[in-house]
Amino acid sequence: MRVSEYVCHDAVGLAELMAAGEVSPAEVERAAREAIRRVAPATGAVVETWPADDRPEPGSTPLAGVPFLIKDFGISMAGRRMEMGSRLAAGHVARSDSFLMRRLRRAGLVTLGRTASPELAYSITTEPALYGPVRNPWDPGRGAGGSSGGAGAAVASGAVPLAHATDAAGSLRIPAAHNGLFGLKPTRGRVSLGPALDEGFNGLAVQGGVSRTVRDSAALLDLVRGPEPGDPYFAEQPSLPYAQEVTRPPGSLRIGVLPQAWGGRRTAAPVTDALDRTVRLLESLGHRTEEVTVGLGVGWEEFVLANARLSTANLAASVDDLAASLGRPVDSSTLEPSTLAAHRYGQEVSGPQFVAALAVRNRVARTLARVFGTHDLLLTPTLPELPPLLGAYGEGAEALDGLGWIERLNDRSPFTMAFNVAGTPAMSVPLAADAGTGLPIGMQFAAGYGREDLLFRLAGQLERAQPWAGRTPDVWAGAR
């Protein structure tokens, strides 16, 4: 199989070819490794590859034999390095598979390496000091988003059709939007974070993937969803596989449209234009849309403060644990300025402040639940602006404290965080591109708790009505 053929297929398509005997798993793997070799230097997306240690039987699952990459954060693979984008964890090797890694193996995915993450996944751009920046395949002078920016750039450039990603504040949806991909953040409790964790960032973090087609993400979630012993949350299992939902008509949906974000940041004109086009597309498909005002149950400053306290306290505990286990100091030799500032801030969060932040989480979840009682879905831009230039997020970061860093991230990505706090599913769909630059623009759809089925139905309909798979970036493995 030539790379030019490999990149023409999504993950499900490759698995079907192998199941039919039209191509062998070894041929697919060779093509994937050559694709990675071609695009990795230009993107910085893949920080390490290794020999595959899984040889699934073709046809044993819908994704058997498909090349795959895991993020350098949030998952552990026995005997492989997991450095979390940080000098603090450089050289760290995982001792065992996490629950999700076990399920990825059972899914038949062939994990070939790991993708870049910002330091400790604590940014929405992927520019770690440990590896260097991840560049956007559509414009290498711009960022690929974060914290799953390595995954986003790897899939968008054709290295693999599907890659692991995490999302605690938009970290899956932001790279999907920046890189022209489909990305769905599952419901809290849909995919286990164990056994090392019961919950990530007090329920804000979830696991998933980014892909070039809707059916690939549906197939992946079907194969990894479900609780493990000891999990603190349980999302009721769907009545049908998500792969089947992709082909089912969604009916006429009530969709509330939120063009301007919480917090006051104005949506840029190219994004507003893309949102208007999306609304017209939805209405042409029989959906009912209306512009809405959606409260969070708390003011924006209180919302950001609560999230800063939750996230920095969690970060401080993780950093201290890593430092103790690896025998390394917590200072500028091991941490970047923004992470170090967040660590210091988190150490000062008191017990009562932490509990009050959890109460804010509850108020936001209850408030958004009422919104989904009157609307099937909410539509927002995934991001208020086009992908920023590399270095833009880090300007003046050394002068910020931990709260200031979280304020910056929420200002640049004000649409995504609320659905992590509420625990509800949300997806970024690559429905538009900027006419002037060709850069992709993602549209975010959010649903009520446990309603990934509804999101997959709509995503499948949108993909059929306005296909995006034919659009390829400047950095593309199949370009020669």
The distance of Cα 79 from the centroid of its chain, to the nearest Å, equals 25
- Check if 86 is active-site: no
- Check if 76 is active-site: no
Q: What is the number of other CB atoms lying within 10 angstroms of the CB of residue 470?
A: 5
**Candidates 76, 86, 123, 171; catalytic one:** 171
The distance of Cα 299 from the centroid of its chain, to the nearest Å, equals 26
Q: What is the number of other CB atoms lying within 10 angstroms of the CB of residue 467?
A: 10
In the block, which residue shows the tokens 């060779």? 30
Give CA–CA dist 390/141, Å, rounded.
6
The distance of Cα 36 from the centroid of its chain, to the nearest Å, equals 20
**Candidates 147, 157, 211, 318; catalytic one:** 147
- Check if 71 is active-site: yes
The amino acid that residue 73 corresponds to is F
Q: Which amino acids are annotated catalytic?
A: 71, 147, 171
